[in-house]
Amino acid sequence: MPVTEIKKDIYWVGVVDWNIHDFHGYSKAPQGTTYNAYLVIDDKVTLFDSVPAKFQMDLYHQIRSIIELEKIDYIVCNHIEPDHSGAMPFLMEKIQPEKVFCSKMGHRMLLDHFHQPDWPYHPVQTGDSISLGKRTVQFMETRMLHWPDSMFSYIPEDKLLISNDAFGQNIASSERFDDEIDLAMLMAEASHYYYNIVLPFSPRVIAVLDEVAKLGLEIDMIAPDHGIIWRSNVPLILEAYRDYAEQKPNKKAVIVYDTMWHSTEKMAKAIAEGLMEEGVAVRIMHLKQYHHSDVMGALADATGIICGSPTHNNGIMPLMADFLTYMKGLKPLGRVGAAFASFGWSGESLSVVTEWLKSAKIEVVEPGVKCKNVPDHAKLAECKELGRQVGKAIVAKVDAEAAAE
């Protein structure tokens, strides 16, 4: 990819990973992604972040199109995760920089990852700054957004925030900026990224946004380490991140299920009818058709999560166990849920799903519904009534939130 000048003498020198689908081992990335690195040409030439080791030669050629690597003075590591630091051993050998700036936790993690105690580490913390010549870099630690080492780099002269994983998306594109692609698609990908990576750290997101506001940082461009750079919609993505983090209730529910012989599927549809009768929008998702990260993406603006599974080997279907484990780790807040199940002879799945939902801090509407073999009209009526009860709980939560405001 050709390099892109994003500000005067500041260049995107990253790489595009067109074909990745398994992002960080747990999130589906059907549109690929980018690994963004940024080069600032000043009295002290500075490289911000790098790329996975397998793309180090791509990064090398990107930088060489602007400047010899030996002329780089500083490297800033905002985040030590291998997709942003994997090329560091190669870069250190080629560049031999004067200084490597990172957070204090980043220093420890660079040592843990690369076992190079002689690199010229210069740990920084919130409030520290360095001069590049005409420009200043101000550092802001953002611990657990989403790793302990994470930090922002802010260049006030250019009103530029280099934000590592925050505000990113998984989009492989020849375009670099938010005003060059469809905004609705971009916001959907930003939400999907948040709800599959950043969600567990939502309290930290609010704290960081509050700190940015308190410091009065003027930002007219946000350059994340994945995806598209924000230059025309900075207020929109800042507001969206606060909305994502606050997880305010909406009149929407996701029904997620697995099924063997379609009994659980029939139950899901009946539950959906009951929800809709209470004015709740519904999304039905079969786990053999949807990746668990897609379900979390749908849950972004949903208050209800209703899960169904047949009994399988005295437990639940493997894909449902996978989803429940995944969802619990992401710690969604303020959700209402319920369980439903079908079975042939033992029937444990209803209680298993119910306990999983409770362990994930979901407010469970009980009792759920279970059906032996194939649901008849009476059993489907029970399912529909469960949908109504969950719908009423969702509407009550939304109305209470509105009244509190």
Three-class secondary structure assignment of 17-33: ECCCCEECCCEECCCCE
How many Cα atoms within 13 Å fall on the side-chain side of residue 86?
15
In the set 42, 49, 165, 382, the catalytic residue is 165
What's the pLDDT score for residue 346?
A: 83
Confidence (pLDDT) at 21? 74
Task: Exactly one of 11, 193, 195, 241 is catalytic; name it.
Answer: 193
What pLDDT, on a 0 to 100 scale, did the predictor assign at position 67? 95
Question: How far is 48 from 38, CA to CA, in rounded Å?
Answer: 5
The rounded average pLDDT for each run of 10 residues, N- to C-terminus, in the chain (405 residues) is 94 92 67 94 97 95 95 96 92 96 96 96 96 97 89 97 94 95 95 91 93 91 96 96 91 93 92 96 94 90 94 87 92 93 84 93 91 89 95 92 81
Neighbours of 333 (CB within 10 A): 14
Give the pLDDT of residue 28. Answer: 63
Order of strands across the sheet that contains 46-48: 4-7, 10-12, 38-40, 46-48, 74-76, 99-103, 121-124
State pTM to two decimals: 0.89
Residues 6+ away with beta carbon under 8 Å from 218? 156, 159
> 79 an active-site residue?
yes
CB atoms under 10 Å from CB of 156, counted, come to 15
Torsion of CA 116, 122, 127, 131, to 10 degrees: -130
The pLDDT value given to residue 27: 65
Q: Which of 42, 58, 81, 141 is catalytic?
A: 81
Concerning whether 146 is annotated as a catalytic residue, the answer is yes
Identify whether 367 is preceded by a cis peptide bond (ω within 30 of 0). yes
Q: Which residue has the tokens 């996978």?
A: 322
Tokens of 268: 């899901």
Catalytic choice (24, 113, 122, 286)? 24
Where do the domains of the chain lie, and which CATH numbers do they carry?
A: 4-245 (3.60.15.10), 253-404 (3.40.50.360)
Could you tell me if 99 and 74 are in contact, meaning their C-beta atoms sit under 8 angstroms apart? yes
pLDDT of amino acid 26:
63
Q: Is 83 a catalytic residue?
A: yes
* DSSP single-letter state for residue 147: S
Q: Which of 38, 49, 74, 79 is catalytic?
A: 79
Q: Determine the pLDDT at residue 24.
A: 67
Name the catalytic one among 226, 291, 292, 312: 226
193 is catalytic: yes
Q: How far is CA 194 from the centre of its chain?
A: 3
Return the number of other C-beta atoms located less than 10 Å from residue 228's C-beta. Answer: 28
Determine which one of 42, 107, 121, 146 is catalytic.
146
81: annotated active-site residue: yes
